[in-house]
Amino acid sequence: MKLYIKYMVSIRCKMVVKSELDRLGLHYGIVELGEVDIKEDISDEQRDLLRLALLRSGLELMDDKKAILIEKIKNVIVEMIHYHDEVGPLKVNFSDYLSEKLQHDYTYLATLFSEVTGITIEHYIISHKIERVKELLLYDELNLTEIAYKLNYSSVAHLSNQFKKVTGLTPTYFKQLKQYKRRISLENL
């Protein structure tokens, strides 16, 4: 039996889910991308207990098939953009990757996503890529050229234009602003 849980991408979320499943004495296999594979049927009472335990941790047990698919799309995108470091630069065609990973036609996924969320998959991807750029700028381990390569931008100019369009700031100004705020905070200690 598969259960679907909203916003379960991080290691902490996986640990919370595993802990609650263990506490309820439920046997499980895979705990990945918002999915938990339970090895036995669970009672309505167990499902309700799990639902309440997850809610206390900010997670949600999901039943609606469309909502589940939307969460899967979001989780695949977040995993690709934020957790792909192990496989090197992000060199994938998002539409092909989503279709393959979720076993649905991309047009169907894109239409459903837009109808339910009010934004396109592309906009969601861009938002997450920009958030990832911000993280990488703050870590200060990579320069803009390396970040552009890592996130599969065609050029630094393309990254910079998209960054400014989304945030209203250039990447360089964003980095300077954060360093300035950090210095002010340190001076107030």
pLDDT recorded at residue 51: 83
The answer, yes or no, to whether residue 161 has pLDDT greater than 80, is yes
CATH number attached to the domain at 2-63: 3.30.70.100
> What count of residues does the chain have?
189
Structure-model confidence comparison of residues 24 and 163, the more confident one = 163
The CATH class of 67-182 is mainly alpha
Asked whether this chain's domains 2-63 and 67-182 adopt the same fold, the reply is no
- Above pLDDT 90, what percent of the chain? 33
For residues 144, 150, 151, 155, the Cα torsion angle rounded to the nearest 10 degrees is 50
Q: How is the chain split into domains, by residue range?
A: 2-63, 67-182
In terms of phi and psi (left: phi > 0; alpha: psi -120 to 50; beta: otherwise), the region of 58 is left
**pTM score, whole prediction:** 0.67
Strand partners for 94: none
Residue 189 banded pLDDT, cuts 50, 70, 90: very low
Q: Give the burial class of 171: count Cβ atoms within 10 A of its Cβ; 0-12 exposed, 13-18 middle, 19 or more buried.
A: buried
